[in-house]
Structures are given as C-alpha cells and as structure tokens.
C-alpha cells in the first residue's frame, strides 16, 4: 500500500483509538491482528477514567501493547466525557495529515458522526465492536468487525506441546496468536497461507516475538509447531497450512 503523503510504497500509518468504557480488553489481540494487515499501528490510545476499577483489565494491557492511556475524568456523575475527548483527538490527527486510516474500538453509536467525517476526507475507518453495536455506526465505517467473531472458539484452540531443549514452551497464548494470524491470512486452493503474511499479522500484536521462544526465525518456530504444515511455493517462499 502507498501512503497518501508518499509516492513510494510504504507502510500505512494507522491510528487505533479505544473507547475503554465500551470495549472489552479480551478482544485486543484480534483487533491488532486485523489492523496489522492494513499498516503499522503507530498510534495506540485508550480513553477512559482510569480511576475506575472497571478499567483495571485495560490498565494491565497498556504497557504490554504500547497503548497510551488517555485520562478523562467524569465531569458530571453518571456521564462520561470519553467520547468527546476521543473525537477531538481524532480530528486533531486527521488535520495533521499524517494518519492514513483509523481503527475505532467501541460499540457506542456516538462515534457515528466521527466515522462519517473521517471518511469524507477519504480515509478508511475500521470499527470494532459487539454484535449489539447500532447498525448506524456499523454502516458509517468502511468495514465493521464483530470482535466476538474474530476470537477463536475455545473448541478451535491450538494444543500446546512440550518445548525442545533450549527452547521455551509454546504456550496457549502464542498458539492463539498464530492461529488467528493464519485464519486472517489469504489462503490458496490447497489451504496454504504465506508465511510472510502470517508474520505481518502476528507482529501486529506487540507481545509477539519469535526470539522469546528460542527461535531466530518465524519459519523455524512454525516448523516446530505440529499444528502446522509447511511447503515451498513456486516463487520460493514458504507457505503454511493449519493441520489441526
């Protein structure tokens, strides 16, 4: 893809804005995987009143995924000012002209005007929310993703296996990331996906690093996971297929 400010092919600059009051941290990895296909998520912000105990789950993820927590106090009891702060920041980013696309993680229809305004400038808006998100906000987005549908079913989870000597155990969290990356990647008629595309999607989750598991390359890690099979494509690139 080519940035609107560049004539050469570059990674698009994506801004992810999270309405922590109306989004679950349980689906963050899947959101990062989807947006990672579109470009580099250089801007990651989560908005809310961080004094609330209900945001404790988000607070634990801010450092892990390099998300900037944006504090917004509730000026009036029972009414959140988070939506307004997110909208102001989004417009500020839009007018600076350095962002090529927006991800909005929320199920709140209040972001309908924001999505419409961003699209008027020709930028895509990717919404992430629950199935109960109002249809008006879904339609305003370039694409809307049901976060529950992005999450792998527990019955479809990959099985962990013991590590080889000198290597760290492949835990269920990593296997979920690899499985989600494969599921989100384009596959050929035989069900094989490009290893490079899988890697790009997996790297959108900032906690993922091949070296953390005792491998130097993603290809070596994939070969060590019995849940996947590999082959060499006609162009010499490695292809990956999920076996179970």
In the prediction, which pLDDT does 234 show?
Answer: 82
Distance CA 60, CA 57 (A): 6
Do 93 and 164 lie in a common domain?
no
Do 112 and 128 lie in a common domain?
yes
Distance CA 137, CA 129 (A): 10
Encode the chain (244 residues) as per-residue pLDDT tens digits.
Answer: 444 444 444 678 999 999 998 899 988 988 988 888 778 899 999 998 888 888 888 988 888 888 999 987 766 554 567 888 999 999 999 999 889 999 999 999 899 999 999 999 999 999 999 989 999 999 999 989 888 877 643 334 344 455 555 555 566 777 888 888 888 888 998 999 999 988 888 877 656 777 667 777 888 888 888 889 899 988 888 999 998 7
Beta bridge partners of 76: 79
Do 45 and 101 lie in a common domain?
yes
2, part of any domain? no
Give the domain-ending residue among 128, 150, 172: 150
Give the domain-ending residue among 150, 182, 198: 150
Closest CA to 113 of 91, 145, 96, 144: 91
Judge whether 16 and 42 are in contact, CB under 8 Å: no
- Token reading at 85: 């702060």
Q: What is the number of structural domains in the chain?
A: 2
Distance CA 4, CA 56 (A): 37
Do 138 and 77 lie in a common domain?
yes
Do 90 and 166 lie in a common domain?
no
Judge whether 59 and 69 are in contact, CB under 8 Å: yes
Distance CA 69, CA 49 (A): 9
In the prediction, which pLDDT does 162 show?
Answer: 56
In the prediction, which pLDDT does 63 show?
Answer: 84
CATH of the domain at 59: 3.40.50.1010
Domain that holds residue 226: 154-242
In the prediction, which pLDDT does 77 show?
Answer: 57
In the prediction, which pLDDT does 244 show?
Answer: 74
Do 220 and 160 lie in a common domain?
yes
CA 114 to chain centre: 20
In the prediction, which pLDDT does 171 show?
Answer: 65
Q: What is the pTM of this model?
A: 0.64
* 52 C-beta neighbours (distance < 10 Å), count: 14
Residue reference for tokens 């969290």: 173
CATH of the domain at 179: 3.30.420.610
Do 57 and 141 lie in a common domain?
yes
């Amino acid at each position: 893809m080519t940035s609107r400010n560049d004539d050469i092919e570059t990674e698009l600059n994506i801004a992810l804005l999270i309405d922590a009051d109306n989004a679950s941290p349980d689906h963050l990895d899947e959101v990062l995987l989807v947006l990672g296909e579109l470009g580099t998520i250089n801007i990651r912000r989560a908005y809310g009143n961080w004094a609330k105990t209900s945001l404790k789950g988000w607070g634990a993820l801010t450092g892990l995924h390099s998300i900037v927590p944006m504090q917004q106090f509730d000026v009036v009891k029972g009414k959140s000012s988070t939506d307004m702060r997110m909208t102001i920041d989004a417009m500020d980013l839009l007018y600076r002209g350095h962002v090529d696309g927006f991800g909005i993680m929320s199920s709140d229809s209040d972001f309908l005007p924001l999505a419409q305004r961003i699209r008027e400038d020709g930028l895509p808006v990717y919404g992430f929310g629950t199935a109960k998100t109002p249809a008006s906000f879904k339609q305003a987005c370039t694409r809307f993703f049901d976060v529950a549908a992005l999450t792998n079913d527990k019955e479809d989870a990959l099985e962990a296996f013991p590590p080889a000597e000198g290597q760290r155990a492949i835990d269920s969290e990593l296997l979920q990331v690899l499985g989600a990356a494969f599921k989100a990647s384009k596959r050929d008629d035989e069900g094989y996906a490009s290893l490079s595309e899988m890697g790009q999607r997996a790297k959108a989750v900032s906690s993922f690093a091949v070296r953390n598991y005792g491998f130097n390359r993603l290809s070596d890690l994939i070969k060590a996971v019995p849940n996947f099979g590999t082959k060499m494509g006609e162009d010499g690139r490695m292809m990956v297929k999920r076996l179970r």
